[in-house]
Amino acid sequence: MEEAGVMNVFFRVNDTLLTAPVSDRILDGVTRKSIIQFCEDQGINVEVRPVRVTEIVEAARKGELLEMFGAGTAAVVSVINAFSNKGENFELPKTENSFAATIKKGITDIQRKKAEDKFGWTYKVK
Ligand SMILES: Cc1ncc(COP(=O)(O)O)c(C=O)c1O
């Protein structure tokens, strides 16, 4: 599981965020990189490794797949609420304290100068 449309994709299984490593198929997106850095700073565990469809389906069946979202410049974070695989439909649970919401707010607050940019992401365009 690598990309969703023109976004990198993230999966939250229990309290760990998974995303595929960049490759000749996976864009080294700036939002993906920012999310990984932001999560490391927030103490959210991120595993960058190949993510198999079977693993995600299994996690969904066990109720351990808590969130899925795409990441890209336009939307920052775009939540995926449901998916289907081989005719089986899965709906993700409503999650309080969602990682997606924390990440979106954290990154857009830095963009809008509502929060300190301790990562050095922002700079003046002359
Ligand atoms: C194939 C693909 N993946 C991921 C992304 C997201 O990249 P970024 O976060 O740099 O916008 C894009 C952006 O256009 C894309 O085209």
pLDDT in tens, 3-60: 888 899 999 999 999 999 999 988 999 999 999 999 999 999 999 999 999 999 999 9
Binding-site residues, ligand 1, Cβ < 6 A: 3, 6-8, 27, 29-32, 72-73
- 16-19 vs 45-48, strand pairing mode: parallel
Beta bridge partners of 10: 19, 69
> What structural domains and CATH numbers belong to the chain?
3-111 (3.20.10.10)
> Residue with the nearest Cα to atom 5 of ligand 1?
7
pTM: 0.94
pLDDT in tens, 61-98: 999 999 999 999 999 999 999 999 999 999 999 888 89
Beta bridge partners of 48: 19
